[in-house]
Amino acid sequence: MSSEGRTDMRYLTFALAKGRLAKTAMAMFEELGITCEAMKDTETRKLIFVNEELKLKFFLSKASDVPTYVEYGAADIGVVGEDTILEEGRNLHEMLDLGFGRCRMCVCGPASAKEKLQHGELIRVASKYPNIAKDYFYNKKLQTVEIIKLNGSVELAPIVGLSEVIVDIVETGSTLRANGLEVLEEVCDLSARIVVNPVSLKMEQERIRSLLLDLRRLRDEKQA
């Protein structure tokens, strides 16, 4: 990506879901020559980082806030998991599967709960993702359930009797195994995605499309 020495160029702003997603995405950007040294300082309390030469800004936010920043145009581009995109249901363009952060959204629980799913019983479902859970049970399975929103360590719910099953992310499956739970049904595959504000896509089409092409090429090289 080149700024071509233009001084009138506006900044493109990236919102990145903090944690592993942001780190892996920044490593990919770095391979494309898009660097931001200040962001690597783990001690910093700064929230926004600028690459003056390329006219880019980067900030880290809670994953669930990334789609909000992008929908309102406070960020032009977001890097966030498909789970968050589906859950938040914001008005934005999902442009690219970055090919990392692969995992699955699943209905999980003790083996004994399988029958309750098959027979469409009125069960309780705990999840950090109530909208995804609702869409899956109400629109895909056509099963009426009670959805209980939790904010973390969702695997606890069936163990302590809060719910029969959970809808949660499964990556290695070790959290489930350690707690005597298993995958009962699969909802969808997930991975890290690039999302773009619809107006930014029109206004900065050339720069954004060129970045997306570079990222796609890099992703394909890594997957080859």
Candidate list 110, 173, 179, 182; residue touching ligand PRP; CB under 6 A: 173
Candidate list 15, 108, 126, 169; residue touching ligand PRP; CB under 6 A: 169
Let me know: does 59 contact 48? Beta carbons within 8 Å: yes
Q: Of 106, 60, 104, nearest to 82 (Cα)?
A: 104
172 binds ligand PRP (CB under 6 A): yes
Candidate list 3, 175, 179, 191; residue touching ligand PRP; CB under 6 A: 175
Give the pairing type, strands 12-17 and 56-61.
parallel
189 binds ligand PRP (CB under 6 A): no
Point out which residues pair with 48 in neighbouring strands. Answer: 59
170 binds ligand PRP (CB under 6 A): yes
* Residue 196 to residues 48, 125, 202, Cα–Cα distance (Å): 19, 32, 10
171 binds ligand PRP (CB under 6 A): yes
- Binding segment toward ligand PRP, per CB under 6 A, in 64-72, 77-85, 163-171, 188-196: 163-171
Residue closer to ligand PRP (CB basis): 91 or 153: 153
Q: How far apart are CA 180 and CA 101, in angstroms?
A: 24
| Single-letter amino acid, residue 122 | L
What are the backbone dihedrals phi and psi of residue 159, each rounded to the nearest 5 degrees, phi first?
Answer: -70, -40
- Binding segment toward ligand PRP, per CB under 6 A, in 79-87, 118-126, 167-175, 203-211: 167-175
Binding interface with ligand PRP (CB under 6 A): 128, 152-155, 168-175
